[in-house]
Structure 1
C-alpha cells in the first residue's frame, strides 16, 4: 500500500483539517483510503474514521517499536495510506513525525500556514526540506499544502515562489466551517463534532489528487504483519472473555488493541454511562476517556458500583487513565463537585485546570503484575488533567523510568487482582498479551 505523511510546520497549523481534505480528495477520486496517525493520539483518529470509514492506524516508534510500526502500517488496507503527523515535523524527543516518515520511507507533504505570506511560505518549506539534509535525517519533503490560502494572486504567488523540487499540492481555503472545536484534551471527538461535509468537499476540490498519488510510495522495509510480542498467540480450547467499556466516557483505545483482544479472546462491550450490567467475563478493560464529563451519569447508572463489587470479589480490571479515575474511590471536579467512583483502588482523584502530565513514558515492573512480569519494561504515553492522592500503604506495579506516573516515581496502582495506570499502552508493548495470559491461567 502506497502512503504519504501529512506533516506540519508546528502544532495548530491545521494538519488535521488538511489530512481530512486529502483523505476526502482520494475518496472522491475513487481510491480506498487507510488513515493513520503518527504519535500517540485518540482524538484525531476519530475524525479520520468519520471521513475514511475505517479505523485509523497508530504509528509511533516509541509505543510500537520499529517492527511494530511497520506491522501496524501493513495491517491496514486500501490504495493509499494518509498519515497525519504530530506537532511540528521534527518535534519530539523520542518519537516525531520525521522519525515515522523516515522509518517507513514515506514522503512528507508539508502543511504551511499561508494566511499571511507568499514567498515566505515557500521559504519555510525550503527550510524544512534542507533541515533534514543539514541534520542527516532521511526525510523527504516533496511539497506543500497551503493552509488558509486564498485563491487568485495569493495562491499563484505561493506556487510560483516554490522551487521546482517542491510540488504545490493545493490549498485549504480559509473557512470557519473547517474549524474543529477543542477542549482540554484536544479536539472534540469525531462523532461529537464532525467537520462540515460541504466545507470538506470544497477543500478537497482544491487539492491535486493525482499529484498526491504520484508522490506517495510504498514503505521500503518488508515485515510480517502478524502480531508482535505474541507472534503466534496460543489458541486455547476455551479462551478468556474480556469486557471492554465503550461509550462517551471510555473512548480512548487503539483499534489495534481491539484487534488483539479479538485475536486472543472473546470480546464483549458494555456502556457504564448507559447503565449496562457488567458482562459475564474473565476480565475488564477500562480505557481512557472523559469520566469527569459524565461523572453524574456514571454514578446514577450503578455500573461502576457493580464493577467495584465484582473487582473486590476477584474479577481482574485493567484501567488506563480515565479507567484509573473510574476505578478510584472518588472524583472531584474543578467546580468542587465530588462523585463516588468504583472504589477498587485506594485513591481519590482531583481534576485540575492545567494538564498534569504530557509525555511518552517507560515503566519497569517491580513485581509480577497483571500487565507485566517483574523487571519487564512497558512503554506508553500519558496526557491527563487529573492527579491522584493514594493511601500511604498503596502498592504499585511499576517504577517510572520516564514520565510522571501516579506519584512521580510510581505507576500501576494495584488492588485485589486489578491495576490502574495513567499510561496508555499499545498492544505492541506486550501489556495486553500479559493481561490475557493471566486471564487464561
Structure 2
C-alpha cells in the first residue's frame, strides 16, 4: 500500500547526456511490468518527448518533476498524484493489486543543470539513484565512474544515494562479469542493456521522435528487459516524503476550454490537462485535421511541431477560422508552437512560407540551430491572460525558430531570465490573445489565471 506521498520509486540518472537514459528507462519499465509491477513513469526536467516514450510502454502519462517549474512542494505533489494513474487499465498492470513502482528518468548528466538537476530532484524526493553508465568499452572504469559519481554527492553537499548501476551497451559473459567484479560491495549491479541497433530512437530538432512515431520494437525491448534484475530494482525503491500541503485547484468556473491535440500540437504537461478538467469543461480538436474550432470560451494551443505540418495547417482552414474568432474576442493562449501557429506567417527551414492564424503581429522563421534553451522567468508588465501585473512566472523555453515582430507589437512580459521573443520581452498580446515562447506548468498558477479570465 502507498500513502499520500505516492508509490515507492527511484531515479535513473546518467553520467552524461546521450548515455541512453531513455532506452534504459523503457527497458526498466518493461522489466518491472513483466515481473508483475505496475509502473508510474516520471521525468525530471521540462521535457515533453521522453515522457511520450514512457507512456507508449507504461500505458499511462508520465509525470513532470522540475523544481524550477513547480518548486519542491509542487514536485512532491505531482509525484504523489501519479499514483492515481495506476488503476490496472494497462494490460501489463496485472490489476489494481499490482505493487506500484515509480521510475523517474533524469535529465542530462546526474549533476548537470542549475535550475533543476537530476540530483536536485532525487534529493527533493529522497529517492535513490540508479546510475546509467556507458560500458561499451570499459569494465574497471565503469566501477571507477560509479564510485566517483557516488562520492561527488558528498563533495557538493547533495544528500542523495547512488545505489548502483545499469551498464548501457554491455555484452554478457566476461564483459558483464568484469563490470560486476569492478563495483564496490556497496554499489549494486542492476543489469545491462545489450548493444542493439534496434534500441536506437531517431532524433531531429528538439530531440527524439515522439513515442507514437518511433516506439522501440517490442522484441528488442523485451530482450533488453530480460537482462535487467527487476526485483532488485523494485527492492531499492523508496517512498518520498509526503507533500506539506495539497492545495485545492480552486472552484470550478463556468467555462469550456478547447485544447489543440494532434501531431502539430503535442507538447503539454499532464498536470495542465488535469487542471482544466478539474476546474472547467475540456474539449480537444485537431487543427491539422481541419476540425472546426469547438464552441468554447477559450482556446489553448500547446507547443509541438507546427513547422513539420505548416502546409497542412495552412490548407486545413482551422487556423484561419481561429484568427477570425480571436479578432472577435475569443481568448487564445499559445505556447511556443502555439505562438508560431498564432503568427502571421511561418517559414520552414527549407524556405517555404505559409500563412498561419494571423492573431499576433509576428512572422516566424525556422533555423538549423536552436535559438533558445533555458529555464525562464518572466514578469508581467500589465495584467494578462496568465498573470496579474507584476506577477512572475517560471517556465522553460526550447525552440529553433525566431519571431520578427511588427513595430507596434505589444509584449505582456519582461524577461527576468531567458531569451523570450526579442531577448528582453515575451508574450505577444493582441485582442484577448497571448502567445509566448515559454512553456509553464500548472503549478505556476498561469492556467488558473487563464481559466478565471474566461
Q: Whole-Å Cα distance in 2 between the matches of residues 14 and 46 of structure 1?
A: 16
* 2:236 paired with 1:215: yes
Q: Tell me the secondary structure at the aligned position of residue 266 of structure 2.
A: strand
Q: What per-residue deviation string (whole Å, max 9, x for no partner) do you get for residues 140-185 of structure 1? A: 1000000000000000000000001100000000000100000011
Structure 1 residues 232 and 182 mapped into 2: Cα distance closer, same or farther (>3 Å)? closer
Q: What are the within-5 Å matches in structure 2 for residues 166-185 of structure 1?
A: 166-185=187-206
Deviation at 1:37, TM superposition (A): 0.1
The alignment status of 1:382 with 2:397, answered yes or no, reads yes
Match of 2:218 among 188, 197, 206: 197
1:172 and 1:203 in contact (8 A); partners too: yes
CA distance in 1, matches of 2:312, 2:249: 41
RMSD between superposed Cα atoms in Å = 0.8
For 1:220 and 1:307, how far apart are their aligned partners in 2? Answer: 45
| Number of the residue aligned with 2:290 | 275
Could you give the per-residue CA deviations for residues 177-199 of structure 1, whole angstroms, max 9, x where no partner exists?
10000001100000000011111
Q: Is the 8 A contact 1:20 1:51 kept in 2?
A: yes
Mapped to 2, the partners of 1:220 and 1:25 lie a distance apart of 26
Does structure 1 residue 130 correspond to structure 2 residue 136? no
Instruction: Please give the secondary structure, in 2, of the residue aligned with 1:411.
Output: strand
CA distance in 2, matches of 1:326, 1:401: 25
Structure 2 partner of 1:235: 252
- Looking at structure 1, the residues matched to 249 and 155 of structure 2 have their Cα atoms a distance apart, in angstroms, of 43
Q: Which runs of 4+ in 1 moved over 6 A?
A: none
Of 323, 327, 330, which aligns to 1:308?
Answer: 323
Counterpart residue number, 1:42: 48
Q: Which residue does the alignment assign to 1:343?
A: 358
* Alpha-carbon shift at residue 235 of structure 1 (Å): 2.8
What do the CA deviations read for 1:172-229 (whole angstroms, capped 9, x no partner)?
A: 00000100000011000000000111111111111111111111100034444x4x5x
Aligned with 2:151: secondary structure?
helix
CA distance in 1 between partners of 2:156 and 2:186 (Å) = 19
SS of residue matched to 1:263: helix
Structure 2: which 5+ residue stretches go unaligned? Answer: 1-6, 87-99
In structure 2, relative to structure 1, the CA distance for the partners of 1:17 and 1:149 (3 Å cut) is same
Pair 1:25 & 2:38 matched = no
Deviation of residue 135 (structure 1)? Answer: 1.3
CA contact (8 A) 1:104 1:221 kept: no
Q: Which residue of 2 aligns with 1:85?
A: 106
Give, in angstroms, the shift of residue 232 of structure 1: 4.7
Distance, in Å, in 1 between the alignment partners of 2:150 and 2:420 is 37
CA distance in 2, matches of 1:222, 1:86: 23
Deviations 1:25-81, CA, capped at 9 Å, x for gaps: 110011100000000000000000000000000000100011110000000124110
Residue matched to 2:439: 424
Alignment correspondent of 1:99: 120
Q: Could you tell me whether the CA contact under 8 Å between 1:288 and 1:321 is conserved in 2? A: yes
Query: Is the Cα–Cα contact under 8 Å of residues 385 and 450 in structure 2 kept in the other structure?
Result: yes
| 1:407–1:119 distance in 2 versus 1, CA, 3 Å | same
Match of residue 310 from structure 2:
295
Partner of 1:262: 277
Structure 1 position 89, deviation (Å): 0.2
> Matched residues in 2 for 1:328 and 1:311: separation?
12
Residues 63, 79 of structure 2: 8 Å contact kept: yes
- Using the size of structure 1 for normalisation, the TM-score is 0.97
Q: Deviations over 1:281-330 (max 9, x none)?
A: 00000000000100111011000000000000000000000000000000
Within 2, Cα distance between the matches of 1:82 and 1:174? Answer: 22
Q: What's the CA shift for 1:334? A: 1.6
CA drift of 1:391 comes to 1.0
1:414 corresponds to: 429
What is the alpha-carbon distance in structure 2 between the residues aligned to residue 412 and residue 89 of structure 1?
33
Instruction: Say if 2:167 is the partner of 1:146.
Output: yes
Gaps of 5+ in 1: none
- Partner SS for 1:81: strand
- In 2, the alpha carbon distance for the partners of 1:205 and 1:223 equals 39
Figure out how many residues of one structure are paired with residues of the other and give that number: 433
Q: SS of the residue aligned with 1:292?
A: helix
1:236-262 Cα distance to aligned partner (Å, 9 max, x none)? 4xx200000000000000011000000
SS of the residue 1:257 aligns to: helix
